[in-house]
């Protein structure tokens, strides 16, 4: 969420940013919120003056009574009553205007970084760099669920009976490989100096609206019926929410955290064959990294964070590439975002396995996360996927599949698999 003062003083910049995100329907909101802000400030000024006058006249009443000037005292009391009535009207007006302003401000997108490429949707994202050589074996690679089924590692049919489509049972060595990935990702980030954390898997609505846009919330979140609670779509939500309404000491920054959690997502809409199986599902597990830092450090941390994900995948010999998300593909709170995509030898193309985002002070402003140094200011927040199995299993299995359908276990994972080198 932007600062209303910034919108008031820079309406053209805000409108140009909206155009860059191809959200022209939001352009009228800028003038509307500036007008509402002017009315709110006028109401506040009138209310402040009335309070001062009421207090001044209230103090005079006792003097009038002591001097026997009853008529003047009664007139003063009448004025105080009139002022109090008008103040009630103004306070209600201020509350109504404040709510309308906040609602609009929550929908105006954050100012994107100047380096972000301009484009309408993800088809216009820009490839930055490739790491590792994409390899296609001279034998046919089956669909990932077929490979897992061959090893008795997945049961989609039973999961559909129990919970519906978009769920799964992972079994045996495939389930163990899944856990090995999360354990390795956890230790990888701890070795980078991040503090390990397991957060709540449910959050209240004020945290939800603090960490994401309304559009994302509707598309992603599951609400607990009868409770002010939502299942998290990623641990970033509760990890950033941990600092709601807090003042952080500047010398304690940056806060670098890595968190494990299950994640729950609606994943609305129909999906093609390449997004079935365990690619796009309602429940999965994830190792995340979160940074809370000073504004001048956020871009440096942004580049460190996506590079850590690349390093993790390359340590298992999985080729990856990075994509710069274009303006139209950025969620409204994001300043800049880079996706990490892994190579699929079966599809002969890359697919997304992680996303790194710099949100500037948008989340901190919504949640009231301030920093105390020489002055008070809002912190910058960043998040990035370390590893999100079971989607990562697709890349892992395809890039380590032998012709006899056995699966090589990358060396960093073997200690989490009891020393096993092969599945099958």
One domain, residues 31 and 173: no
Residue 110 covered by a domain: no
One domain, residues 100 and 206: no
Q: Which of 350, 347, 294, 390 is nearest to 141 (CA)?
A: 347
What letter does residue 194 receive in the DSSP assignment?
A: P
Q: How far apart are CA 345 and CA 288, in angstroms?
A: 26
How many domains does the chain contain in total?
Answer: 2
One domain, residues 348 and 264: yes
* pLDDT of the residue at 81: 84
CB contact at 8 A, 147 and 390: no
One domain, residues 156 and 83: no
Beta strands 195-197; 255-264: pairing state: parallel
One domain, residues 253 and 173: yes
Question: Looking at the chain, how many residues does it have?
Answer: 424
Residue 117 covered by a domain: no
One domain, residues 67 and 170: no
Q: How far apart are CA 405 and CA 151, in angstroms?
A: 9
Residue 114 covered by a domain: no
* pLDDT of the residue at 275: 59
Tens of pLDDT along the chain (424 residues)? 899 999 999 999 999 999 999 999 999 999 999 999 999 999 999 999 888 888 888 778 778 777 878 788 778 888 888 888 888 899 999 999 999 999 999 999 999 999 999 999 999 999 999 999 999 999 999 999 999 999 999 999 999 999 988 899 999 999 999 999 999 999 999 999 999 999 999 999 999 999 987 777 777 889 999 999 999 999 999 999 999 999 999 999 999 999 999 999 887 654 555 557 777 788 999 999 999 999 999 999 999 999 999 999 999 999 999 999 999 999 999 999 999 999 999 999 999 999 999 999 999 999 999 999 999 999 999 999 999 988 899 999 999 999 999 999 999 999 999 999 999 8
One domain, residues 90 and 135: no
* pLDDT of the residue at 71: 81
Helix boundaries (H) for 106-165: 144-150, 156-162
* pLDDT of the residue at 66: 74
Residue 113 covered by a domain: no
Residue 155 covered by a domain: yes
One domain, residues 310 and 403: yes
Q: How far apart are CA 138 and CA 152, in angstroms?
A: 25
One domain, residues 387 and 333: yes
What letter does residue 415 receive in the DSSP assignment?
A: G
* pLDDT of the residue at 227: 94
**What pTM does this model have?**
0.89
Residue 202 covered by a domain: yes
What is the 3-class SS of 70-115, one letter each residue? HHHHHHHHHHHHHHHHHHHHHHHHHHHHHHHHHHHHCCCCCCCCCC
Which of the listed residues 58, 79, 105 is the one where a domain comes to its end? 105
CB contact at 8 A, 195 and 258: yes
Q: What is the CATH number of the domain that holds 199?
A: 3.30.930.10
Q: What is the CATH number of the domain that holds 29?
A: 1.10.287.40
CB contact at 8 A, 259 and 286: no
Peptide bond into 79 cis (omega under 30): no
One domain, residues 37 and 128: no
Which of the listed residues 48, 76, 105 is the one where a domain comes to its end? 105
Q: How far apart are CA 92 and CA 171, in angstroms?
A: 59
β-bridge mates for residue 395, sequence order: none
One domain, residues 101 and 126: no
Phi, psi of 266, rounded to the nearest 5 degrees: -65, -40
Angle between helices 298-314 and 172-191 (to 10 degrees): 140
* pLDDT of the residue at 64: 78
Which of the listed residues 73, 105, 137 is the one where a domain comes to its end? 105
* pLDDT of the residue at 216: 76
Burial of 316 (0-12, 13-18, 19+ CB in 10 A): buried
Residue 83 covered by a domain: yes
One domain, residues 172 and 241: yes
Decide: helix, strand or coil at residue 338. strand
54: containing domain: 4-105
Residue 112 covered by a domain: no
Q: Which residues of 204-226 are buried (b: 16+ CB within 10 A; e: fewer)?
A: beebbbbbbbeeebeebbbeeee
């Amino acid at each position: 969420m932007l600062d209303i003062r910034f919108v008031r003083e820079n309406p053209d910049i805000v409108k140009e940013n909206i155009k860059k995100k191809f959200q022209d329907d939001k352009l009228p909101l800028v003038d509307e919120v500036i007008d509402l802000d002017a009315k709110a400030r006028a109401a506040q000024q009138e209310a402040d003056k009335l309070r001062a006058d009421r207090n001044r006249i209230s103090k005079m009443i006792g003097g009038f009574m002591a001097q026997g000037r009853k008529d003047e005292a009664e007139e003063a009391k009448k004025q105080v009553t009139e002022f109090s009535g008008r103040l009630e009207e103004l306070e209600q007006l201020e509350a109504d205007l404040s709510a309308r302003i906040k609602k609009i401000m929550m929908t105006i997108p954050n100012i994107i970084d100047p380096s972000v490429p301009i484009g309408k949707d993800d088809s216009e994202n820009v490839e930055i760099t490739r790491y590792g050589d994409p390899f296609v074996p001279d034998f046919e690679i089956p669909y990932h669920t077929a490979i897992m089924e061959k090893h008795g590692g997945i049961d989609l049919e039973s999961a559909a009976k129990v919970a519906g489509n978009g769920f799964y049972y992972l079994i045996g060595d495939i389930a163990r490989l899944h856990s090995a990935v999360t354990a390795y990702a956890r230790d990888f980030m701890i070795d980078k100096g991040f503090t390990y954390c397991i957060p709540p898997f449910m959050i209240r609505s004020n945290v939800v609206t603090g960490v994401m846009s309304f559009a994302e919330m509707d598309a992603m979140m599951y609400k607990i019926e009868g409770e002010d609670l939502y299942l998290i779509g990623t641990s970033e939500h509760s990890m950033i929410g941990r600092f709601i309404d807090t003042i952080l000491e500047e010398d304690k920054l940056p806060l670098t955290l890595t968190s494990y959690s299950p994640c729950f997502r609606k994943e609305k809409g129909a999906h093609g064959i390449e997004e079935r199986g365990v690619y796009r599902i309602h429940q999965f597990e994830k190792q995340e990294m979160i940074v809370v830092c000073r504004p001048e450090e956020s871009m440096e941390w942004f580049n460190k964070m996506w590079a850590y994900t690349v390093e993790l995948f390359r340590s298992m010999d999985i080729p990856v590439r990075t994509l710069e998300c274009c303006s139209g593909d950025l969620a409204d709170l994001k300043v800049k975002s880079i996706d990490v995509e892994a190579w699929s030898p079966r599809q002969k193309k890359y697919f997304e396995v992680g996303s790194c985002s710099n949100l500037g002070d948008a989340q901190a402003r919504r949640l009231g996360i301030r920093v105390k140094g020489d002055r008070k200011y809002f912190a910058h927040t960043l998040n990035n996927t370390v590893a999100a199995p079971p989607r990562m299993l697709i890349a892992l299995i395809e890039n380590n599949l032998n012709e006899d359908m056995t699966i090589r276990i990358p060396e960093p994972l073997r200690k989490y698999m009891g020393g096993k080198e092969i599945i099958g």
